[in-house]
Structures are given as structure tokens and as C-alpha cells.
């Protein structure tokens, strides 16, 4: 009836219907605000200061001075960004290709395939410190297993830590070994959802195994390939533990004696936790975050274009 006054119970019911959905999603926004948004805003605030990590009270506001120094007068930062992009290319592309091949093999009828599938995730759950230390020994100059194998083919003792190309290859091998299985399981789960009728029809048309793989499987895995590419890109753009532990000692934070494998995240670590320049390291963090979003966006567009073509 028009004009009827609602009772308190009716009003409370209306409030519950309108407000309860916001209550259900509020925990996420509270957690994001405390652990995501606030640190981001605080980092942006600190990046506008000249501030020592051990002397917060002596901070001085300098505006965009840190950004000007970083982008226009710091060759070490651009060297670190170049190393980061190089490692991104050396790790992301092999990860996706190897993961697709491994997933395709595990999708076949094999003996003990459940055991193999479980083994794919083991490198990912292994401690990154343990992985890096072991790989550093494998790529050792004097007694490394890799150099020993290469000596069979007449190669000399390679100092993997000394050169830019060699150190990037060794670090990329660590990352690819650790994350390929993770992406392979994602692809494998998606492959099992592809209708078998598509492969049966392709077989009747005379398509062979690899033809079916490239013309049926890969196009249908487009969303998963894009997802894995973006995940791999964001992870590789903030690569820290592998280059830090690859050459432990006095030159650990600099990524080698000539900064030949210092990544942007490692340069941030050097500025913030060895030189205690909290303001400058905060500026590096924000610039790296923007660069990561840009590179991830480019990866998404390139992958989507390749899959479309």
C-alpha cells in the first residue's frame, strides 16, 4: 500500500539486502588496503625524500629529485634494466615453449604419468636459495659439472660469472628449470579439457600428431598461454634471489664485479639495504613497478597477436 510506514524489521531487512554484499567483499578490500595500497602510497611518499633507512627523522623533502637522478644521471640503473630485459627474454620464451612440449608429452598415455606430473611441481616448491646455490656449483669455473660436460666437446673452462652473456645464461637456466613445471601443469589441465572429438576429426582428415598440436592444441590454449606469459614476465622483472646468490660475497649486491648480471630488483636491494638510501630505493621500486606493467602489457599484446595470427 502506497504511503505505508515500514516497520523497523522491514527497514533492517532492506538494509541487509543492500549492504550485506559490501560486507561480504569488505575483507578483501581491508586486507588489500593494509598490505597493498598503504605500502604503495607510503613508498611513493618516501620516494620524494632524501631519507636514510637508519635515520627516518632526518628525512628531507626533495620532490622529484630522486627520479631525475635515477632516470637521467644514473648509468647503473639503466645497466640493471638492460640486464633485467635480457633475462626476461632468456627465461620467458623458453619457459613457455618447454612447458607446452612437456604438457603435450604428459597428456599422452604413459606409464607412471601421475608420478611424472607430480614431479613437475617439485622444482617450483624447492627453496630458491637451495636451487641457486646448487646451480652456482654446477656452473662453477673449475669444478662445475657443466664445464666438465662441455669439455667433452672441446670447450674450455668457462667463467660463467665473469661475462654478461655467460652469467645471463646460467641465471636463465635456474629460472627456467624452476618454473617450467608450474606452467606445464597449467597447460596440461587445459589440454585435458579439449574435446577429443576435435582430434578424432583431425585424424580422419589426415593431420598428424604435431600438426594437431600446433593447429588445435596451441590455439585453444591461447588464454592459458597469455596468462603464463604475463605471470612469467612479472616474475622475471623482479628477479632478485637468483642473481644475489649466484655470486655470494662482497660483489653479491652489485651482481658481479662489473655489474654484469645485476637486475633492477637487485639494484634496489643494493641502494636500500647496503647503502640505506631509502628514498632512492623507493623511487627505483616505483619505476620498476611501472616498467613491469608496461612489459607485461607488451607481452600480453604480442602473445595475443601471435595466437590470433
For residue 156, the SS3 value is coil
The cell numbers describing 65, all together, are 629529485
Q: What pLDDT, on the 0 to 100 scale, is given for residue 1? A: 46
Rounded to the nearest integer, the mean pLDDT of the chain is: 85
The cell numbers describing 110, all together, are 604413459
Q: What pLDDT, on the 0 to 100 scale, is given for residue 77? A: 94
C-beta neighbour count of 276 within 10 angstroms: 14
Between CA 32 and CA 250 the distance in angstroms is 37
Q: Which residue has the higher pLDDT, 36 or 309?
A: 36
Between CA 30 and CA 20 the distance in angstroms is 16
- For residues 28-36, average pLDDT: 88
CA distances from 206 to 109, 196, 197, 221, 242 (A): 21, 16, 14, 22, 47
Residues 123, 177: contact at Cβ < 8 Å?
yes
Q: What pLDDT, on the 0 to 100 scale, is given for residue 307? A: 58
Chain segment 57-92, per-residue pLDDT in tens = 888 899 999 999 999 999 999 999 999 999 998 998
For residue 238, the SS3 value is coil
> For the whole model, what pTM was predicted?
0.84
Between CA 120 and CA 181 the distance in angstroms is 4
309 has pLDDT over 70 = no
**Does the domain formed by 74-308 have CATH 3.40.50.300?**
no
280 has pLDDT over 70 = yes
Burial environment of residue 153 by CB neighbours within 10 A (0 to 12, 13 to 18, 19 or more) = exposed
**Residue ranges per domain, the chain?**
74-308
8 has pLDDT over 70 = no
Amino acid at each position: 500500500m502506497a504511503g505505508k510506514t515500514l516497520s523497523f524489521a522491514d527497514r533492517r531487512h532492506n538494509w541487509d539486502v543492500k549492504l550485506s554484499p559490501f560486507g561480504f567483499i569488505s575483507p578483501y578490500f581491508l586486507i588489500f588496503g593494509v598490505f597493498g595500497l598503504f605500502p604503495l602510497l607510503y613508498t611513493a611518499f618516501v620516494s620524494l625524500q632524501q631519507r636514510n633507512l637508519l635515520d627516518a627523522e632526518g628525512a628531507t623533502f626533495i620532490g622529484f629529485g630522486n627520479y631525475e637522478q635515477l632516470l637521467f644521471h644514473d648509468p647503473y640503473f639503466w645497466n640493471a634494466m638492460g640486464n633485467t630485459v635480457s633475462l626476461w627474454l632468456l627465461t620467458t620464451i623458453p619457459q613457455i615453449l618447454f612447458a607446452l612440449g612437456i604438457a603435450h608429452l604428459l597428456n599422452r598415455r604413459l606409464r607412471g604419468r601421475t608420478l611424472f606430473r607430480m614431479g613437475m611441481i617439485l622444482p617450483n616448491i624447492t627453496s630458491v636459495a637451495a636451487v641457486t646455490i646448487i646451480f652456482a656449483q654446477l656452473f662453477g669455473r673449475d669444478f662445475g659439472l657443466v664445464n666438465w660436460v662441455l669439455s667433452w666437446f672441446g670447450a674450455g673452462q668457462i667463467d660463467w660469472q665473469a661475462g654478461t652473456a655467460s652469467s645471463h645464461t646460467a641465471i636463465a637456466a635456474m629460472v627456467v628449470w624452476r618454473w617450467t613445471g608450474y606452467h606445464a601443469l597449467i597447460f596440461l589441465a587445459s589440454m585435458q579439457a579439449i574435446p577429443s572429438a576435435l582430434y578424432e576429426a583431425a585424424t580422419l582428415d589426415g593431420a598428424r600428431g604435431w600438426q594437431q598440436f600446433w593447429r588445435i592444441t596451441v590455439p585453444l590454449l591461447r588464454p592459458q598461454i597469455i596468462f603464463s606469459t604475463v605471470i612469467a614476465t612479472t616474475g622475471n622483472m623482479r628477479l632478485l634471489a637468483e642473481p644475489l646468490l649466484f655470486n655470494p660475497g662482497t660483489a653479491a649486491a652489485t651482481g658481479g664485479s662489473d655489474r654484469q648480471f645485476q637486475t633492477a630488483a637487485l639494484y634496489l636491494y643494493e641502494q636500500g639495504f647496503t647503502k640505506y638510501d631509502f628514498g632512492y630505493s623507493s623511487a627505483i621500486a616505483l619505476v620498476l613497478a611501472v616498467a613491469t606493467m608496461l612489459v607485461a602489457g607488451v607481452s600480453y599484446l604480442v602473445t595475443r597477436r601471435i595466437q590470433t595470427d
